[in-house]
Amino acid sequence: MDLSSLRYAITLAEELHFGRAAQRHYISARPFGRHIQNLERERASGCSNAPAGGSP
């Protein structure tokens, strides 16, 4: 997980629109979407250090 992907996710949450969020980062929607997909895959694969139940 890299910092740019996290920034893209935050921008997407703010804009609620892939095209506008991509424009804010001066890239097209397709590579922007790929960054978001990769971030979703990383989160789904459990690469974080958080416990599975969410509590310590």
What domains appear along the chain, each with residue ranges and CATH number? 3-44 (1.10.10.10)
Residue 34's alpha-carbon distances to 28, 43, 52, 54, in angstroms, are 10, 14, 26, 27
pLDDT of residue 46: 73
Taking Cα atoms as reference points, which of 31, 40, 48 lies closest to residue 9?
40
pLDDT of residue 53: 57
pLDDT of residue 54: 53
Residue 18's alpha-carbon distances to 21, 43, 53, in angstroms, are 5, 19, 31
- Is the pLDDT at 1 greater than 80? The verdict is no
pLDDT in tens, 12-54: 999 999 999 999 999 999 999 999 999 999 988 875 555 555 5
- Is the pLDDT at 7 greater than 60? The verdict is yes
Write out the E strands in 1-56.
none
pTM: 0.74
